[in-house]
Structure formats: structure tokens, C-alpha cells
Amino acid sequence: MEHRSLRFYLRIYGRILAQDLKSKMSYRADFIISTIGMLFTNIAGFISFWILFGSFPSIGGWRYEEILFLYGFSLVSLTPVQCLFDNNWNLRSSVYSGDFIKYCFRPINLFFYYQSEVFDIKGLGQLAFGIGTLCYAWGKLGIAVTVLSVLRTIIFLCTASLIMVALQNAAAATCFWIQNSFYVLDFVTRFKDYARYPVTIFSPVFRFLFTFVMPIAFIAYYPSLVILRPDEVPLLSWLSPLFGIVFFYLSYRFWMFGAMRYSGTGS
């Protein structure tokens, strides 16, 4: 396959995105309803924290504002998988219907072409709510706003998002070998709800699970410590950007491994 530059892919993505948005905006009622539903889901999570901390001043040594910071951080870091990789949910049906074969004959990266075909715009509502929650908690905690703190937050948010993207990529790609792969993808996705909590409140077994097996602790907990508790940052927090990049690359290779062996007739 001919090597393509980043500029080429950005230009192609812009055109694909424009067409996808035009298609979605032709059904404005569906867009508005789904966006409102997304916002209410996030507001419900916010309220659950408020009710919980109305009875307990802290949980496992974590105050309300700190948990709220984790919640906002997780919402922002989960936005890319919501907006940019939502087509993974359609991968199984494309593979078994035979429609996936059309992606195999384009002179561009197969993974890019497939993922760029769908942009879930309602995820932008989640992004806005997450940023608002993060800024609110930041102010309540009295964290100094410096160039370094903002830069660290952006870097750790971007790399943390790669963890959930990688989990979804790997889970979705099992459809190239497993017929009931939807349950694998659904099972993995459900774990994202635990990313909003500090891993220290769980038992040692779940701490290990959420760190080394299903590493959702790297979606919010470990990267947030760099901002929340800079005086007690564990090594895993500093390594979280590296873990995100490596994990994403491995999931990409796994996804491509299955796609390259796709026969076009289903599994």
C-alpha cells in the first residue's frame, strides 16, 4: 500500500466527517433526543456522587471534589472512543454480512477508513459536561492554574483516552474469530463506569484487575494523581502515557491482524 502523509489523512477525514454530519443533521430530532439523553446520563452520575457524599464526608480518603475531578477527567478522556471509534459497534455486523469487504479495496489505511466513517456527534455533549465538571472541581480544590498543570492535564487526558480506545478496538476485533463477539465488546465497555472511582477503594483483587488486566485505572485514577496529588505520584501515574500509547498500538495491530485475514464470506 502506498505510504500516505498525515496531511492526506486529515484532508480525507475532513471530507468523510462533513458527509457524516450532513447525514446525521437530516434527522435533527434523533440527534437532539440522543444528545439530551447523553447529558441526562452524565447528570445522573453527578447527582449520584452528590447523594453519596451527603451521607459520607469522604470515601477511602477521597473527598467529594476529588471524586468529582476523577468523574470529569473520565468523561473527557472517554470522549474520543465515543466520538471517533463508535463504528466498532458495527464491525461484527459488517463482517458477518460481508459488507466489510468494501473497506479492503481502498488505497488507504483500512483501520482509518473504517473508523472514520462514523462520528458520534452527541459525544460532544459529554465532552462539554466533562470539561465543565473538571473545571468546577479544579476550582473547588484550589489547584493552581499554571502552564505546566494545564499542559500535563492535556497530555494525560489524551493518552488516558487511548486506554479505552484500545480496549474497545481489541474487543471489537474478536468478531473476526468469535461469532458472539458482541458480548465481549459489551462486557469490556461496561467496565468504563468504574474508571470514575479511585482504584484504592476496591479490594486488592480488583485493584490488580483494574490495573494490569482490565486497565481502566489508567483512564482517570493514575493520570489524575499527577494533578490532584503531585506530592504522592506513583510510578504508574508517570508511566500511564506510555501504557496508553503501547496499548493502543497493540490493539491496532490486533485489529489489523484480524482484518487482513478477513475472507469476505463471514466467519
pLDDT in tens, 26-48: 666 666 676 677 667 777 766 77
| Residue found by looking up cell 454530519 in the block | 21
In a domain, 46, yes or no: yes
Q: Quick one: pLDDT at residue 3? A: 61
Contact 136, 72 (CB under 8 A): yes
Question: How many Å apart are CA 8 and CA 11, to the nearest integer?
Answer: 5
In a domain, 145, yes or no: yes
Element (H, E) at 164: helix 147-173
Confidence tier at 15 by pLDDT (50, 70, 90): confident
Per-residue cell: 126:
459529554
Contact 200, 60 (CB under 8 A): yes
Confidence tier at 10 by pLDDT (50, 70, 90): confident
In a domain, 265, yes or no: no
Q: How many CB atoms lie within 10 A of CB 221?
A: 27
In a domain, 135, yes or no: yes
Provide the whole-model pTM. 0.85
Q: Enumerate residues 6+ apart whose C-beta is below 8 A from 1.
A: 107, 108, 109
When pLDDT is averaged across residues 55-77 and rounded to a whole number, the result is 85
Q: Quick one: pLDDT at residue 44? A: 72
Q: Quick one: pLDDT at residue 20? A: 72
- Distances from the Cα of 130 to the Cα of 90, 118, 135, angstroms: 26, 22, 9
Question: How many Å apart are CA 121 and CA 123, to the nearest integer?
Answer: 5
Confidence tier at 164 by pLDDT (50, 70, 90): very high
Question: How many Å apart are CA 160 and CA 236, to the nearest integer?
Answer: 12
Question: How many Å apart are CA 64 and CA 49, to the nearest integer?
Answer: 7
Q: Quick one: pLDDT at residue 57? A: 66
Containing domain of residue 57, as a range?
6-260
Q: How many domains does the chain contain in total?
A: 1
Q: Which of the two residues, 38 and 86, has the higher pLDDT score?
A: 86
In a domain, 196, yes or no: yes
